[in-house]
A and B are shown apart, each in its own frame.
Chain A
Amino acid sequence: MKALITTIVQPLVDHPEDVAVTVKEETNKVVYHLTVHPEDVGKVIGKNGRIAKSIRTVVYAAGTDTKKRIYLDIM
């Protein structure tokens, strides 16, 4: 799942080397925390959060076969 997030995000930013994902497991959900280079924040959020929404849609869809709920936190 971590790999999916980096695969999606890296081609969208100017500093792919600064894309990092950390995982935090909680009782009912898994929280993925995505951080990017400060200059790239706008590129992963998009106008009105459209890009962020698309990223979440794809990630949540890929995570349907995992037992826990997935939550993607950006920045």
Chain B
Amino acid sequence: MKQVTASGQTVKDAVQSALEQLNTTEDQVNIEVIDEGKKGMFGLFGAKRAIVKVTIKVDPVNQATLYLKEVARFFSEDVAVRVKRDGKHIYFDLSGEKIAMIIGKRGQTLNALQHLVRVMLNRGSQERFRVTVDAEGYRDRRQQTLEQLASRLADKAVKIKRNVTLEPMPSFERKIIHSVLQDNQKVETTSDGTEPNRHVVIKPL
């Protein structure tokens, strides 16, 4: 974070000098007055200079985009990051060469990256963002796969009259399974185990 502490005869002077040092304008900074200063007697005795701390405001979403780009660079030279912001939900989409490396097996690398970006973005900020990191439509494709898998395994559970246990998945993927089978009268779904081994169990009714 870029910040300077500056002093001046008045608060205004101090801020001005800080802005010059940072080479920026007043609307792009946060100003914290440390000491208002005192004029002193006849401007001679007991005069105290005003001290301010000026910090450049950073947009956390921009920071996170940069972070993703920098990390992605280690996988492949040209990875583009597109950002979509929908209120508190920030959606990052990666595209480029060798994107499969960034997704990883069952999206595990992508999920790890998503987790790191979320931690970074929400660190030290009051508001909480929801973060999705996607790569060339992977999340959509995964959703379709999971929907098909869910209906297939529900049929299987009914046929063999036994519980069918799925492999461990992150919460947002389990949610897809639960919602697909919500209206299915023949089965019931629950989640079992503790993170990171929590998994869906499909029970025939």
Chain A interfacial positions (CB closer than 8 Å to B):
1, 3-4, 7-8, 11-12, 43, 46, 48, 50-51, 53-55, 57-58, 61-62, 64
Contact = CB atoms under 8 A, between A and B. Distances in A.
Contacts of B120: 11-12
10 contacts: A7-B67, A11-B67, A11-B123, A12-B120, A54-B111, A54-B115, A55-B112, A58-B112, A58-B116, A61-B109
Contacts of B109: 57-58, 61
Contacts of A58: 71, 109, 112-113, 116
Interface string B98-134: 0001101000110111011001100100000000000
Nearest to A61: B109
Given A57-B104, A57-B109, A64-B101, A51 B74 contact: no
B1 to A, nearest CB: 10
Nearest to B1: A16
A35 to B, nearest CB: 19
Contacts, number: 55
Interface string B118-154: 0110010000000000000000000000000000000
B71 A7 contact: yes
Contact of B119 (A7, A48, A51, A57): A51
A24 to B, nearest CB: 20
Contact of B71 (A8, A46, A48, A53): A8
Contacts of A55: 112, 116
The winner among B63, B71, B101 for most chain A CB atoms within 10 A is B71
B31 to A, nearest CB: 22
Contact of B116 (A1, A51, A64): A51
A62 B63 CA distance: 22
Given A7-B70, A58-B109, A62-B74, 11 more contacts: A1-B74, A7-B74, A8-B116, A54-B113, A55-B116, A57-B104, A57-B112, A61-B101, A61-B102, A62-B101, A64-B101
A54 to B, nearest CB: 4
B59 interface: no
Nearest to A50: B115
Nearest to A3: B74
Contacts of A1: 74
Nearest to A8: B71
